[in-house]
Amino acid sequence: MTMYQMPKGRINGVILDWAGTAVDFGSKAPAAVFVALFKSEGIEISSQQARSGMGLMKKDHLRKILSLEDVHQKWMKEKGADVTAQDIDRLFEDFIPLQSQTIADHAIPIPGLFDTLEFLRGKQIKIGTTTGYLRQMMDILVPRAAELGYHPDSIVCPDEVPAGRPYPWMCYRNAINLDVYPMSSMVKVGDTTVDIEEGINAGMWTVGLAATGNLLGLGEEEYFSLSIEDREKLLIPARQTLIDAGAHYVIDGIWDLANVINTIQG
């Protein structure tokens, strides 16, 4: 764990990301859909390129992928013209049903989620969530996650506020929904750099997750089948990426969050 200065004290609320943090070990759903979307356009992109904008609202995520030099050049070669706003609108419209079709299959809770929720409830800490998914996507994911036992107190999507991450608006809306203040008594938890930026911009504690989300991109079985030595080789740069983004703490997975909360509360 790595810490920067914030006023320690009572924590009243925790805001969790969804994919790669609470559910969908490895944040598989968005990456797979973007790869398939570009393939339908005659453009091959890697999983790493598909993950380049992870955590952003999905239209912004799409823009981020298209801004990559290699992807941009492939687009120009395939289409014979530069990317237009109309292209982005069309691709995004195609993306929505593709993501909606697969999202329920990636609702499996990440190990340690329920123990962590029990710990938070026991401390009377309220639980909010933010995401890069639109509300219509969450309307599919949330019921499936609920069937599996995950029931956060608040869910805010980027199309319900003026802008998604890294802007703080989803965190502020959660604070209102949860009736929690000040923002410094809240902790933002996520697996991407924009999760960290979102929390910092909202004036919150931030906790980055190195193992279970976008930075490694490994499924649960893939990750736990690695030797401890091989995991560490992958985790060192992932942790550093989150530290460089400004995370107050970096842990491997949500299973370690209780230790962070106890440290902050003293």
d(CA 235, CA 242): 11
Asked if 58 is an active-site residue, the reply is yes
Which element (helix H / strand E) includes 179? Answer: none
Q: What are the Cα distances from residue 15, in Å, to 12, 75, 79, 146, 231?
A: 10, 37, 41, 17, 27
The catalytically annotated residue of 17, 24, 60, 153 is: 17
The span from the CA of 102 to the CA of 142, in Å, is 13
The question of whether 17 is a catalytic residue gets the answer: yes
Helix or strand (DSSP H, E) at 189 = strand 186-190
Which one of the listed residues 58, 59, 64, 74 is annotated catalytic? 58
Contacts 24+ apart (CB under 8 A), 76-84: 78/41, 78/42, 78/43
Q: How far apart are CA 196 and CA 178, in angstroms?
A: 20
> DSSP letters along 4-54, please?
---------EEEE-SBTTTBSTT-HHHHHHHHHHHHHTT----HHHHTTTT
Which tokens go with 264? 């902050």
Let me know if 171 is exposed, middle or buried by CB neighbors in 10 A (0-12, 13-18, 19+).
Answer: buried
Which residues have a catalytic role annotated?
Answer: 17, 58
